Structures are given as C-alpha cells and as structure tokens.
Amino acid sequence: MSQDAWKQQLAAAIRRVEDLPSDLLVSLGGAQALQRVADEYPMMIPRRYLERIDPSNPHDPIARMVLPDPRELEVDPVCQVDPLGEDGYEVVAGLIHHYRDRVLLLVTTRCASYCRFCTRKRLAGRGWGQLTERQLDVVVSYLEQHGEIREVILSGGDPLVLSDQVLDHILGRIQSVPSVRMVRVGTRMPAVLPARITDGLAGLLARHRPLFVVTHFDHPRELGAEARRALELLVAAGLAVVNQTVLLAGVNDDVGVLAELFCGLQELMVRPYYLHQCDLTQGTGHFRVPLRQGIELMGQLRQRVGGLCVPQYVVDLPGGRGKVPVALQHVASMGLSGSVLLDPEGRPVPYPL
C-alpha cells in the first residue's frame, strides 16, 4: 500500500448523513433525525471502517460507535460538557497540566472518525483545528519552565491525522526539552484508518523513542487484517504499544467480547492497559455501563484469561478529581441509586450508578 493511501482514505471518509448507504439509513430511521445530531456533534467515518457494519443488525456494535444517535441530544443531569474539568487545567493553549509530572498536549481537534462516546465531544471535529507554531513555542517554553514534567502525552483529536512532517517536528520540539523523558502518542488510527500506519510513520515514531503508542480498540471486529498489519508494523519497528478500551453499553459490555478483544491484542504483542469507565460526558449517557456491572465483568474476565490479557479497570472521576482503579479499595459504598468512590487521597466522590 502506498505511503499516502491514508490521505486519500481520509479525504473520502463519509461526513454527511445523506452519504451513508441507504440500507443503513433505513434501518436507522431516516436521515433527518441523524443529521440534527451530526450538526451538533460531527460525524466522520472512513469507508473501510463503515464496511465493518452489518446493516441487517439494528444493534451492530460498530455502527453504535460511529453513527449519530438521537439520544446524544438528550440532556443527562449527571453528565457534563467537560466531565474531567480539563479546561480548568489548560495552562497554555492545548496543554493540560493536571498531574504533577505529566501533561496532555492536544495537538489537533480532528480525528479520522468521530466516536459518539468521546470524552472530548466538546472539541472533536469542531474545535480549533491544529496547534499553530506559535502555540507550540508557548508549549515548549512552558515545558522548559516546569522541569517536573517528565512525560508528554500527545492527544487531541487524533495526533496521527497530522502529516509525518508535522508530527516529526512537534515530537522534536518537545523532546528538545531535557526534562521531558517520555512521550506517549494516543491514537485510534490503527482501528479506524489502519492505512495511516505506514513504514515511514513507524520508523519516524521509533526514531523518537522512548515513546509509547497508546492505541484505542473497543471491539474485536476492529481487529481486521489491516488493523493487525498496522499493529505488527508498530511492534516490528521496536515501539512499545499498549491499548485502552472504553467500556460501552451495547458494544463490549460482555465478557466474551472483551476476552476476544484483549486476547487478540495480546497475540499481536499489544498489552491491554486500561478499560475505561465511559466518562460522564453530555451526549453519551446511553453508552454508560453501571460500575457494578463493570466490576462483575472484570471478575469474569480474570477467571477466563491470563493476567497479560486483563487491563486495569479505571474511572476518571468527575471534575478533575483524578483517575482511580475501580477496585474495592476505591469503593466506599455502592447502592442501587449510585456509588461513592474514593479519590487518590481517599476523599469521597459521589458517582451515579
């Protein structure tokens, strides 16, 4: 495959509801209702990813992740536009400094596909676009002034929508700061647009080691031949690759599905790292799996597969209170109407369901 095939696939991705295949539209109840959702939260689906949907299945898990759903427009009182309070930790444009020794750098608000359950629905596909050179200057100078920051996590949006040249430049600038010792690149590209993972990109990322690639696969059907090839390329280039998954109702809230996904990743030398409780983001309430069910699923998973196939089940507490493993030591109480979790300092945080 040519090194630039991904650019053509990205340009050809479906962005308008009316361009969806008609059999799919009929099974979804028509274009009008979906367009209203896509006007609020952009839709984008690479055509090869769309082919993974079974139009005869009204509950297809792949469709559920990428097709607009009228429930996204329902206001859920427990959800927020910025559930992790990230905007409050944005120290300079694009840079979120929440934890002492690491920062999140949002290099773009674009993705190859807009996940309907995204934590950053407020930004994805409708924010400011791409970090400018001037903004990068400010980021680098912040890093230089904060020697405590040893790790920079590139995120967005999806950093791999940027060209190799731009990525190389950003990574070089960040790594020119002596106190930055580690970089992570978070991406959903291997799942939604695997053609993006070329020899050239894998080599480029490898030149910037130490660097972890953090992929995002949610369902075993995303692990098709092209995705496998993409992961193999990254691993063969000598990169450490770990995966995060979001626990999603109607997609992967089933121990068999999770086991197949995590074992499939492990066989490709990709370590399942986190299973995230879906954040309390406005417009995503229909994806939420109750914590109690998540804990039960993890128990079943541990009985079924080896430890290297078991990620850590975590919840990012609302309001920027930090990420905690959902293990019993972080659960103060659990009732039918909600739970109380303990933040990293042991302080109680109410949590719905």
Q: Does 264 bind ligand SF4 (CB under 6 A)?
A: no
* Other beta carbons within 10 Å of 170: 24
Closest CA to 196 of 234, 224, 223, 147: 234
Nearer to ligand SF4, 161 or 305 (CB): 161
Query: What SS3 state is found at 209?
Result: coil
Q: Choose the binding region for ligand SF4 from 70-78, 110-118, 168-176, 340-348 (rule: CB under 6 A).
A: 110-118
Assess 120 for contact with ligand SF4 (CB under 6 A): yes
Cα distance between residue 126 and residue 110, in whole Å = 8
Q: What angle do CA 7, 9, 14 make, to 5 degrees?
A: 125
194 is a site residue for ligand SF4 (CB under 6 A): no
Interface residue with ligand SF4 among 96, 115, 195, 247 (CB under 6 A) is: 115
Q: Min. distance of Cβ 86 from ligand SF4 in angstroms? A: 12
Nearest residue (CB) to ligand SF4, 188 versus 321: 188
> Contact between 185 and ligand SF4 (CB under 6 A)?
no
Least distance in Å: CB of 2 to ligand SF4?
A: 24
Residues 309/341, Cβ–Cβ less than 8 Å: no
- Pick between residue 157 and residue 264 the one whose CB is nearest to ligand SF4: 157
Task: Find the helix or strand (DSSP H, E) in which 215 lies.
Answer: strand 211-216
Q: How buried is residue 59: exposed, middle or buried, by Cβ count under 10 Å (0-12/13-18/19+)?
A: exposed
With contacts defined by CB under 6 A, name the span among 111-119, 201-209, 289-297, 338-346 that binds ligand SF4. Answer: 111-119
Calculate the CA 314 to chain-centre distance.
Answer: 14
Residues 47-66 that bind ligand SF4 (CB under 6 A): none
Shortest distance, position 78 Cβ to ligand SF4, whole Å: 20
Distance from C-alpha of 16 to C-alpha of 79, rounded to nearest angstrom: 27
Output the smallest distance, CB 212 to ligand SF4, in A.
Answer: 16
Check if the beta carbon of residue 60 is closer than 8 Å to that of residue 49: no
Q: Binding ligand SF4 by CB under 6 A: which of 114, 212, 217, 273?
A: 114
Write out the DSSP string of 30-70.
-HHHHHHHHHHS---B-HHHHTTS-TT-TT-HHHHHHS--G
Min dist CB 225 to ligand SF4, Å, is 21
> Residue 156 or residue 220: which is nearer to ligand SF4 going by CB?
156
Does 83 interact with ligand SF4 (rule: CB under 6 A)? Answer: no
Is the peptide bond preceding residue 21 cis, with omega within 30 degrees of 0?
no
188 contributes a contact to ligand SF4 by CB under 6 A: yes
Compute the distance between CA of residue 317 and CA of residue 342 in angstroms, rounded to an integer.
9
User: Residues 13-42 vs ligand SF4: string with x where CB under 6 A?
Assistant: ------------------------------
Nearer residue to ligand SF4 within complex by CB, 115 or 349: 115
Contacts of residues 1-4 at CB distance under 8 Å and 24 or more positions apart, as own/partner, are 1/195, 1/198, 3/198, 3/199, 3/200
- Choosing from 82, 158, 218, 260, the residue that interacts with ligand SF4 (CB under 6 A) is 158
Q: Which of 38, 124, 289, 349 binds ligand SF4 (CB under 6 A)?
A: 124
Backbone angles phi, psi at 151, to 5 degrees: -135, 130
CA atoms within 13 A on the CB side of 138: 13
With binding defined as CB under 6 A, does residue 157 bind ligand SF4? yes
Which residues are near ligand SF4 by CB under 6 A?
Answer: 111, 114-115, 118, 120, 124, 156-158, 188
